Amino acid sequence: MHYFKNVTPFFKNTLACLLITITVILSSCEPLYNDSGNDNGIIRYSVTTPMQLIFSTYLGGSTPCATCTTTHTFAHNIASDIQGNTYVTGATEVLDLPVLNAAQPQPQANSTLSAFVAKFDPTGVLLWCTYLGGDNQSMGTGIAAMPGNGVAVVGFTSSDSSGLFPTMNPYQAGNNGQTDYFVTVFNSNGNILYSTYLGGSGVEGDNSFTDDNSNGNNVYVDAQGLAYITGVTNMSGNGPVINFPTTINALQPGLAGGTDAFLAIIDPSKSGFSSLIYSSFLGGTGNEKGHAITANAAGTMIAVAGYTNSSDFPTTSNNAYRSTPPPSFKSNGFIAQFTSSLPGNLSSQYTMGYSTYLGGVANTPRDDTYGITLDLNGMIVATGRTQSVDFPMLNSSQPSIYNSAPIPTQTVRNDQPYVVKINPFLIGNASLIYATFLGGGSASGGGGAFCTGVVVDSQGNIYVGGETSSTGVKYTFSSTPVVAPQLLPYTQDALFPAFQGGQFDAILMQVSPDGTMLAYSTFLGGTDSDRTYGLAVDPSNNIVISGLTFSNNFPVKNPAQPWPNNPGNQNAFVTKLGR
């Protein structure tokens, strides 16, 4: 402290305290960005505070239901409301979930898998938890908070007339086929306000009912309370064919291929036939699956993401990044954006404003788009997995984290995640604002990573969640794009900077608003296998994630439920992190 040798003890102590105070303030700052346009548009990352657990809990049980042989429980998706409450849905085979204030306190007779819905307060206290199912199998796949509190849940069920899935004011009162979607809306206290089947005489969703057969959040709720739903249907079945329901103003009224994606809109404030506001198929002569959906608050713009292997998927020829199919490909993701002239009105007209293939051109690798959201300016942000070295990237002069794959040619290799931002109001190549690999794609076919969820916070930061079987490598910022590492990059402030164990770990990654920097990346898990499916952001910019874990030592904090003591079985987890 020789700098203070010529000042009085009072001022010496005052200046010392001031330095300590400044140091403490700087160490607790939110991430700061400089977006002045200098340095070729690179956003500099100045100060960060490491993310910490706010709460983290198991959700599961140890007693199988009467017709179940295991005690698996898994969470698919998660949502946060304007008060910071957390909602989660998934499926379970147990009889002893920690039910509380339940609309359905136990599985129905003959159930082999039940959906569940749970609500936690902002600190992780369980407010209510309920089963949701009929006499066969039911699984929750998507969840979105309602504007006036409460929550909308989407999934699919094979329960039928001998033991109906619970309905209320339904558009469709019973199961039309092998499996149908369901749409159920709860109020803030966990009481059912609306619940319906939605499907035709074939298979909606996937009749295997496994934890990994539905990726991305397939429901979104706008400011009016309209529920936007996507998924997959094949409409074929035994006996008389009942079509997947479509409305008179559908852009595509019929099934085009083996399976098609769809876009449906339900108004749960209405009942019966009037509650289905819009429904249309979306696909070509091959196969499609709708993974995720989003919209703006007004409902005038809707965007769907998913998978296609059709050579004639409906695209917009005048403005798409890639309007024609690759000359030879195994699968591509797709992004399709629609406009609605009168959201919530049965007479609304719908227009496909932008629709594109998203992926490489070779016939060996696979590409898929799982998660989709809108940023603060209404741009489309999407994530998924790719095995393509020629996944669309901008040239090296454009900002990116990693803009090339870890190998120069197509060979056997595993998935790695990506993030893209698209402006659907620009044309062709200009519509791709940026694209970046996120690392962890192995050239040998071992390792690998992919992301299924994406959200944007109020500062424009992008978060993705998923899983990896790759070990880690420390991330180093580069002002120019570099080759993506074959190991998953973690940041210096990672909560867990190393692979924790098992076959795969959950991951959470933060990308700067312009896509130039990996602002945060961490592993998350215990010594067995863990995976993230759901991802949401609360009003305080905390991140909530959900998924499954086989670990008996998954990191917990203030848990609503400790490990359920079911060795070798899955449990759901719900985790909130913040700065």
The CA distance from 195 to 211, in Å, is: 23
Predicted confidence (pLDDT) at residue 207 exceeds the cutoff of 90: no
CA–CA gap between residue 460 and residue 503 (Å, rounded): 33
Give every strand in the sheet of 482-483, ordered side by side: 367-374, 380-386, 416-422, 432-437, 402-404, 482-483
* DSSP codes joined into one string, 134-184: -SSBEEEEEEEE-TTS-EEEEEEE---TTSPPP-BS-SS-S--SSBEEEEE
Structure tokens at 236: 């074929």
Return the minimum-mean-pLDDT range out of 214-223, 518-527, 565-574: 214-223
pLDDT of residue 571: 98
Q: What is the average pLDDT across 58-87? A: 96
Q: What is the mean pLDDT of residues 442-451?
A: 78
Close Cβ partners of 59 (under 8 Å, ≥ 6 residues apart): 73, 75, 88, 97, 98, 116, 118, 129, 560, 561, 571, 572, 573, 574
- Does 189 score more than 70 pLDDT? yes
* pLDDT higher than threshold 70 for residue 12: no
pTM for this one?
0.91
| pLDDT score, position 112 | 94
Quote the CA–CA distance of 359 and 413 in Å, as a whole number.
15
Over residues 137-146, the mean pLDDT reads 97
Per-residue confidence at 17, pLDDT binned at 50, 70, 90? Answer: very low
Smallest CA-to-CA distance from 74 within 536, 530, 455 is with 530
Q: What percent of the chain has pLDDT over 90?
A: 77
Please state, in angstroms and rounded to a whole number, the distance separating the CA atoms of residues 332 and 306.
Answer: 9
Over residues 408-422, mean pLDDT: 81
Give the span between the Cα atoms of 549 and 557, in whole angstroms.
Answer: 16
pLDDT of residue 406: 74
**What is the C-alpha separation between 474 and 472, in angstroms, rounded?**
7
**Scanning the structure block, which residue is given the tokens 């719908």?**
350
